[in-house]
C-alpha cells in the first residue's frame, strides 16, 4: 500500500505523520519550527525530516502519494501565503518550495483550521459524513468547513472564519481583529473567561469564581458543573452566542454534523447540551437538526487532515 505524509506546521513545532492510504497512521513525530530569519529554514527542515523518514523506512518516490501541509494562516487559491505572522513568512509558496525540496513529490497546502476540520471529517468526530463544520474553542475560535469531502476555503481564503462573524452589534470593546462583537470574543476559552469577569462585575451574586485570582474557562466549567449558578449563566450566555454562529453556518452551507474541539470541548455534553438547546432556537427552518459532537482527534486532527488532503487530490 502507498504511503503519504501529513504535516501540521505550527509556530513552535511541526507535527508530522506517516500514513497508509487507508488512513492508518504508522508513525508520528515532531520537529521544532525554526522561525529565525523570516522562517527561511522551515521548509528545508521539513523536507529533511521527510527524506530521513523515507530513508529509514526504505521508501522511494514511487511509494509516496505526496505530502499535505497545514499552515497557520490564510492560503490563497494560487498556493501563496502572503503573510504568516507566526512563521515570519511573506509571499511564500510553501507547496512549490517543499515539492522542489522533495524531488517533485506532490504537496498540498491548506489553512490549519480547515485542514484540522478535514481530519475530523475523515477519521474523527465527523467520520462517516461528507459535510462537516468543525469548530475549535481555544485561545481563539477556529472553524473549518468541509462540503462533500472537500475543504471550502473561499476565493480569498477566509471561508469558515466563523470566529470573526459579528454576533453582537452592541459590543463596546474591540476584538483582536479590530472589529466589535465577534463570536470569538464570547465563545473561545478566552471569551468564556472574559464573560465570567463581566458577570462577576455586574452583580454581587455569590460564586466560587470570586475567590480566584485568574479565571480560566476550565474554572468556569468546573464551577458550573459543581452547581455554581453564576458560572452556569456565563456558559449559557457563551453557548447562546456560539449557537447563533452555528445557525449562520447551517443556513449558508447546511453541514450534516458540527464537531466541537479545543480545550473547552473537554467539558463534553455538559456544555454541548447547552449549545444544542440554544441552537434549536435559531434554526426553526429545519425540522431535523445536525448532530453536534465532540471532536475526537485532539492535536492530531491537523496531521490526519493534511494526509487526507493529498490523498484527495
What does the binding site for Zn ion look like in residue numbers (CB under 5 A)? 164, 175, 177, 179, 182
**Beta carbon nearer to Zn ion, 182 or 196:** 182
**Beta carbon nearer to Zn ion, 146 or 183:** 183
- Shortest distance, CB of residue 264 to Zn ion, whole angstroms? 18
- Shortest distance, CB of residue 82 to Zn ion, whole angstroms? 19
**Beta carbon nearer to Zn ion, 132 or 175:** 175
**Beta carbon nearer to Zn ion, 19 or 186:** 186
**Beta carbon nearer to Zn ion, 95 or 245:** 245
Rounded Cα gap, residues 293 and 160, in angstroms? 18
Q: Quick one: cell of 188?
A: 473561545
**Beta carbon nearer to Zn ion, 19 or 241:** 241
- Shortest distance, CB of residue 132 to Zn ion, whole angstroms? 24
- Shortest distance, CB of residue 251 to Zn ion, whole angstroms? 21
Task: Give me the helix-helix angle, 42-57 and 94-101, nearest 10°.
Answer: 40
- Shortest distance, CB of residue 178 to Zn ion, whole angstroms? 7
**Beta carbon nearer to Zn ion, 164 or 293:** 164
**Beta carbon nearer to Zn ion, 177 or 226:** 177
- Shortest distance, CB of residue 278 to Zn ion, whole angstroms? 21
- Shortest distance, CB of residue 191 to Zn ion, whole angstroms? 11
- Shortest distance, CB of residue 184 to Zn ion, whole angstroms? 6
Alpha carbon separation from 91 to 34, 62, 97, 177 (Å, rounded): 18, 31, 12, 21
- For cell 494560487, the residue is 78
Query: Taking a C-beta distance cutoff of 8 angstroms, is the pair 79, 111 a contact?
Result: no
Amino acid at each position: 500500500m502507498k504511503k503519504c505524509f501529513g504535516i501540521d506546521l505550527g509556530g513552535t513545532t511541526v507535527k508530522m505523520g506517516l500514513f497508509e492510504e487507508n488512513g492508518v497512521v504508522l508513525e508520528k513525530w515532531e520537529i521544532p519550527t525554526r522561525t529565525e530569519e523570516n522562517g527561511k529554514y522551515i521548509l528545508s527542515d521539513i523536507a529533511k525530516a521527510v527524506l530521513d523518514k523515507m530513508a529509514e523506512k526504505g521508501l522511494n518516490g514511487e511509494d509516496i502519494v505526496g505530502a499535505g501541509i497545514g499552515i497557520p494562516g490564510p492560503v490563497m487559491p494560487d498556493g501563496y501565503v502572503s503573510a504568516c505572522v507566526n512563521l515570519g513568512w511573506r509571499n511564500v509558496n510553501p507547496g512549490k518550495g517543499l515539492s522542489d525540496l522533495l524531488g517533485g513529490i506532490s504537496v498540498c497546502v491548506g489553512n490549519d483550521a480547515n485542514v484540522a476540520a478535514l481530519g475530523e471529517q475523515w477519521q474523527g468526530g465527523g467520520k462517516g459524513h461528507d459535510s462537516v463544520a468543525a469548530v475549535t474553542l481555544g485561545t481563539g475560535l477556529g472553524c473549518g468547513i468541509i462540503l462533500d469531502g472537500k475543504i471550502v476555503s473561499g476565493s480569498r481564503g477566509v471561508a469558515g472564519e466563523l470566529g470573526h462573524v459579528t454576533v453582537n452589534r452592541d459590543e463596546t470593546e474591540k476584538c483582536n481583529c479590530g472589529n466589535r462583537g465577534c463570536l470569538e470574543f464570547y465563545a473561545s476559552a478566552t471569551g468564556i473567561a472574559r464573560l465570567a469577569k463581566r458577570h462577576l462585575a455586574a452583580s454581587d451574586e455569590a460564586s466560587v469564581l470570586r475567590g480566584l485570582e485568574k479565571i480560566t474557562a476550565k474554572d468556569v466549567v468546573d464551577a458550573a458543573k459543581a452547581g455554581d449558578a453564576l458560572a452556569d449563566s456565563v456558559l449559557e450566555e457563551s453557548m447562546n452566542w456560539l449557537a447563533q454562529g452555528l445557525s449562520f453556518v447551517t443556513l449558508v452551507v447546511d453541514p450534516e454534523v458540527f464537531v466541537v474541539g479545543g480545550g473547552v470541548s473537554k467539558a463534553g455534553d455538559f456544555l454541548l447540551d447547552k449549545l444544542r438547546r440554544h441552537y434549536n432556537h435559531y434554526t426553526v427552518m429545519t425540522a431535523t437538526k445536525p448532530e453536534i459532537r465532540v471532536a475526537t482527534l485532539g492535536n492530531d486532527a491537523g496531521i490526519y487532515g493534511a494526509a487526507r488532503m493529498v490523498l484527495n487530490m
